[in-house]
């Protein structure tokens, strides 16, 4: 083993030991695995991996409590699921978003800092941290009582989908309104991001029928619906992408995208789905 490789492994071991999840790729770049976890995983699994997140009531089956998995979750299995996803759940694969080194670093973080740490806490080897996941705003979310007085929670997927109300005249948006700050969106550049990140919920066709849609409540927005086409102008789409939407699975993409990138994906949605009805009508 050469000195550089040995030094890298020592640093990595120290980082894991102190809870600072750092990995070093072949290019020498630092991969912050804890940041990757909080960007991609904590929205469902919670800040501490216990499944106590703002999404827990919206997913069926609910997110797994990784802190209690123990030996049932070996590192190789974790890497496989992170890479390829898990069928019949909301867990999607990230092989199109993260490279091999990032996937490996994320698997190491989940295995060492969440699964193994949780097992050590359960065994009384180390003390846990008081409190609950920060993604819920504090406090444990109570289970929804089952019908008939049972203790099992009612799967949110069983809840009926509320009807969509007709669009009132005052709700109609100005479809000529521009983006803020003088931004000009480029739909061609936004297409790739949409297909890799948004289509999983909203669908490739923008119809809200992506592979994750079945597991999510409230359901993802159907951009082809009349309400969407009458109320979602450029500023509205931009704001939803930038800030996210409270009470839904829609995240605030401003955490990872520039304003121009947000304008690009917003323009793709606007031109491809929202205004596609106008284009079809003019073609007749």
CB 213 within 8 A of CB 219: yes
Q: What is the pLDDT of residue 14?
A: 37
- Check whether residue 15 and residue 126 sit in a common domain: yes
- Check whether residue 129 and residue 201 sit in a common domain: no
Cα–Cα distance, 234 to 258 (Å, whole number) = 16
Find the domain containing 170 and state its range: 164-283
DSSP string, the chain: --HHHHHHHHHHHHHHHTT--EEE-TTS-EEEHHHHHHHHTHHHH-TTSSS-STTTTTBSSPPP-GGGTGGGS-HHHHHHHHHHB-TTSS-B--TTTS-HHHHHHHHHHIIIIIIHHHHHHHTTSS---SS--GGGTSSPPPPPPPTTS-SSPPPGGGSPPPPPPPPPGGG---TTPPPGGG----HHHHHHHIIIIIHHHH-TTSSS--TTGGGBSSPPP-TTSHHHHHH--HHHHHHHHHH--TTSS---GGGTS-HHHHHHHHHHHIIIIISHHHHHHHH-
- Check whether residue 268 and residue 182 sit in a common domain: yes
- Check whether residue 58 and residue 121 sit in a common domain: yes
Q: Is 237 a member of any domain?
A: yes
Q: Which of 119, 136, 153 is the C-terminal boundary of a domain?
A: 136
- Check whether residue 111 and residue 207 sit in a common domain: no
- Check whether residue 124 and residue 170 sit in a common domain: no
Q: Is 141 a member of any domain?
A: no
- Check whether residue 121 and residue 13 sit in a common domain: yes
pLDDT digits (tens, 9 = 90+) for 164-206: 788 899 999 999 999 998 999 999 999 999 998 899 899 999 9
- Check whether residue 173 and residue 130 sit in a common domain: no
When pLDDT is cut at 50, 70 and 90, the band that residue 67 belongs to is confident
- Check whether residue 177 and residue 117 sit in a common domain: no
pLDDT digits (tens, 9 = 90+) for 201-251: 999 999 999 887 877 778 899 999 999 999 999 999 999 999 988 778 888
Q: Is 146 a member of any domain?
A: no
Q: How many domains does the chain have?
A: 2
- Check whether residue 11 and residue 61 sit in a common domain: yes
Q: Is 8 a member of any domain?
A: yes
Angle, in degrees to the nearest 10, between helices 100-109 and 75-84: 130
Q: Is 142 a member of any domain?
A: no
Question: What is the rounded (10 degree) CA torsion for 124, 127, 129, 133?
Answer: -20
* CATH number, residue 76: 1.10.760.10
What mean pLDDT comes out for the span 265-277?
93
- Check whether residue 241 and residue 201 sit in a common domain: yes
Q: Is 148 a member of any domain?
A: no
Q: Is 59 a member of any domain?
A: yes
- Check whether residue 131 and residue 186 sit in a common domain: no
Decide if pLDDT at 95 tops 90. Answer: no
Q: Is 118 a member of any domain?
A: yes
Q: Residue 67 CB: number of other CB atoms within 10 A?
A: 22
């Amino acid at each position: 083993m050469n000195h550089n490789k040995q030094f890298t492994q020592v640093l990595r071991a120290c980082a894991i030991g102190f809870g600072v999840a750092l990995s070093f790729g072949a290019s020498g770049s630092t991969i912050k695995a804890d940041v990757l976890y909080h960007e991609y995983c904590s929205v469902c699994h919670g800040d501490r991996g216990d499944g106590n997140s703002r999404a827990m009531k919206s997913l069926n089956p609910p997110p797994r409590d990784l802190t209690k998995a123990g030996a049932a979750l070996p590192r190789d299995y974790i890497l496989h699921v992170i890479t390829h996803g898990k069928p019949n759940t909301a867990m999607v694969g990230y092989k199109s978003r993260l490279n091999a080194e990032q996937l490996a670093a994320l698997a190491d973080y989940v295995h060492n800092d969440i699964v193994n740490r949780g097992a050590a806490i359960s065994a009384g080897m180390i003390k846990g941290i008081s409190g609950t996941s920060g993604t819920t705003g504090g406090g444990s979310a109570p289970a929804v009582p089952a019908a008939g007085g049972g203790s099992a929670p009612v799967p949110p997927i069983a809840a009926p989908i509320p009807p969509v109300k007709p669009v009132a005249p005052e709700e109609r948006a100005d479809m000529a309104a521009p983006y803020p700050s003088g931004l000009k969106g480029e739909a061609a550049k936004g297409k790739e991001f949409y297909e890799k990140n948004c289509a999983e919920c909203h669908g490739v066709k923008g119809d809200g029928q992506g592979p994750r849609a079945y597991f999510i409540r409230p359901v993802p927005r159907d951009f082809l619906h009349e309400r969407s086409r009458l109320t979602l102008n450029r500023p509205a789409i931009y704001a939803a992408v930038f800030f996210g939407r409270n009470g839904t699975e829609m995240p605030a993409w401003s955490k990872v995208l520039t304003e121009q990138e947000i304008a690009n994906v917003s323009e793709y949605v606007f031109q491809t789905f929202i205004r596609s009805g106008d284009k079809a009508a003019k073609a007749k």
